[in-house]
A and B are shown apart, each in its own frame.
Chain A
Amino acid sequence: MAIITMAHGSGGRATSELIDSIFAKYFNNEILSQMEDSSVVDGSAMLAMTTDSFVVKPLTYPGGNIGRLSVCGTVNDLLMRGSVPKYLTCGFILEEGLDTELLSEICKSMAETAKEANVKIVAGDTKVIEGSGGLIINTAGVGFINPEKDISSKNCKKGDKVIVSGYLGDHHATILSSRMTIDNNVESDNAPLNEMVLSLVNNNIKVHALRDITRGGLATVLKEMAISAKVNIELEDDKIPVNPMIKDFCGILGLDPLYMGNEGKLVAIVAEEDAEKALSIIKNSKYGENAVIAGEIVEDQGEKFGNLTVRTVIGGLRSLEVLQGEGLPRIC
């Protein structure tokens, strides 16, 4: 088994060999292959830009790996402003001792995910640090924006429907299961949501806001949105989509799916008149089959805004806050 050594970070021959045998092999395209100090690409009048670092452990898990995740995370962030993702850069921090076969597998998966998401990896960097075989990836991305399609939470208003694109908590439960060696069939949902989002945009659906349901879960994302958009949001408890297996998993560990992260789910705030059409588009798109309308914006003016509540099955009202602390499994 070949492993990464400090020599791979020297900038010399070992570095070139690593680039040729793995990075160039999988990420090859006409821009990257020019091997210049920076890449020159086509542009657009307005751009969406974002960056994200990925430190997940374990590096591979059921349903994905850190490579697929690092593309999905950045691509989905670009999509949430309605932009068409175009270019990615990636920075690799490799720890000494990393298995090159594993690195190869991860890069292959990254390349496949980039192809699925229709983005090009146009620049990259590699560093090697002391450690014990770990890997950290940073990706930055650029997307092209049509300024007429303004998607921003400031557009939210009373009556808008809250659409959740699928089951909550799958990625979080998968990572937790792997870390705690819990044997189950849970799989990560890490996926690029291009088809889902761009179908909404291209069909001229009045999408007022889009958010990627990542760390902190749906509750944190919607609470933050309620505060920034100065609205009150109410969810229906029995509409919140959770895979029964994840529900049981959370029940045993004392976790709440509303606060668990995904890597391939979004929440869309859509004008009331377009909500059913939007739901149908999402349900018919890749990764959206379990989408539901889970609630609505109940207030958009007045002094008390920024509230997120859940109407429970017995008619009670539960108030939700952003995630506090880390969401640790409990004793009993």
Chain B
Amino acid sequence: MNIHDLVDFLKNYDGESIRIMEVCGSHTAAITKSGLKSIISPKIQLISGPGCPVCVTPSAYIDRLIELSKTENTCIVTFGDLMRVPGSKSSLNLEKGNGANVKMVYSPMDIIKMAEDNPDINYVFAAVGFETTIPVYTLLLESLISKDIKNVKLLTALKTMPEAIEYLIQAGAKIDGFIAPGHVSVITGKNAFYGLASTYNIPFGITGFNPSELVIGIYGITKMICEKEKLKEKNIVPLKNFYTSVVRDEGNDTALNLMKKYLQPYDAVWRGMGEIKGSGLKIKDEYSFFDAGSEGLSEDIKLNKGCSCDKVLTGKITPHECPLFKKVCTPLTPQGACMVSEEGCCFQTFLSEPQ
């Protein structure tokens, strides 16, 4: 079968209606860009999950960043898309006009030169992310220790994906299959999803990001959903790797060891979803000198009471079912995090439809 045959299969699918969730923000953006939703059968529903790290960071974390950014001799260093995320009252971007000291970088390692050049400034890196980004923060910690740099700390909001997926399954999100996160799987390996696939007998397909890779992954997941019972009889766990060019069974040992060395699991709060057991990583007590006060940033206040990001993130409603969507909540006036990030479900849905 070539790629056009697979597209035809997805186009003509006429089996039971199924819901497939992607739990990676990059997949959310890639699916929109591929135009896939415009050609596949309406019986295959693609739903976005809590896969955008910016979207699941609670408001207390943003509030704390803003507070630090206005502290004397302190500079917040961050990736770009965190700038616009609303806290309970404001965002870093808005506060920049009110004297907040914020610098945008593309690599956390850039902070080292800043810290060396300006020893009187205390730098705080806004360390937000999933397994994909977390190893870089541990590399940063390793460099800070080896170079004996004292004026850099991290404000962490680090989350791990398998625990969140399990939460969704247990919360009754009615998902028939998961597009497993491609970048996360590079670090964790395919086997990180084995337990979930076998315990709940829900198909998982690790999938790439270009249009053809998406078609292959979604085709494979749909097939597994259709043959789920047959696979179970044969004791075959419905887990497949369709992104073999970069994802291995065991993951990246170097990255995983660094994570073990510097970080420990804790019960993290996800924006709109609440506390999920063991779903976060924080800096180990012995390295707590580098923590800028990440503990207890769990309060999650909505900027707008009508915001339904929580229900969107968990696949309970589509963005269209949120009362604010396209009305007061637009990419220029985001009321919730899903509308802020390029990887947010609402942002992508907004963009994918003629206004």
Mark A residues whose CB is within 8 Å of B: 180-182, 252-254, 256, 304, 306-307, 310-321, 324-325, 328-332
Contacts and interface: CB of A to CB of B under 8 A. Distances in A.
A332 B183 contact: yes
A178 to B, nearest CB: 12
B37 A330 contact: no
A325 B331 contact: yes
B132 A318 contact: no
A318 B352 contact: yes
B80 A329 contact: yes
B133 A319 contact: no
B82 A318 contact: no
19 contacts: A180-B104, A181-B110, A182-B106, A252-B106, A310-B35, A314-B7, A315-B39, A316-B37, A316-B38, A318-B32, A319-B351, A324-B332, A324-B347, A325-B332, A330-B80, A330-B81, A331-B53, A332-B129, A332-B130
Contacts, number: 106
Contact of B34 (A256, A307, A316, A324): A316
Contacts of A319: 351-354
Contacts of B183: 332
A317 B35 contact: yes
A26 B237 CA distance: 74
Given A325-B331, A328-B84, A331-B81, A313 B53 contact: no
B84 to A, nearest CB: 7
Interface centre among B29, B33, B352 (most CB of A within 10 A): B33
B345 interface: no
B354 A312 contact: no
Nearest to A307: B354
Contacts of A253: 106
B211 A313 contact: yes
Contacts of A311: 35
Contacts of B83: 328
Interface residues of B, number: 47
A252 B107 CA distance: 11
A331 B53 CA distance: 8
Interface of chain A: mostly helix, strand, loop or mixed: loop
Interface in B284-328: none
A330 B79 contact: yes
B275 interface: no
Contacts of A181: 110
Given A328-B84, A331-B341, A332-B132, 4 more contacts: A318-B32, A318-B38, A324-B347, A328-B104
Contacts of A331: 53-54, 79, 81-82, 128-129, 133, 341
A331 B37 CA distance: 25
Given A180-B104, A314-B3, A332-B129, A324 B35 contact: no
B212 A314 contact: yes
B164 to A, nearest CB: 15
B330 interface: yes
Contacts of A182: 106
A321 B35 contact: no
Given A180-B106, A310-B35, A321-B351, A328 B80 contact: yes
B81 A314 contact: no
B106 to A, nearest CB: 5
Nearest to B6: A314
Given A181-B110, A254-B343, A325 B7 contact: no
Interface in B326-355: 330-332, 341-343, 347, 350-355
B81 A318 contact: no
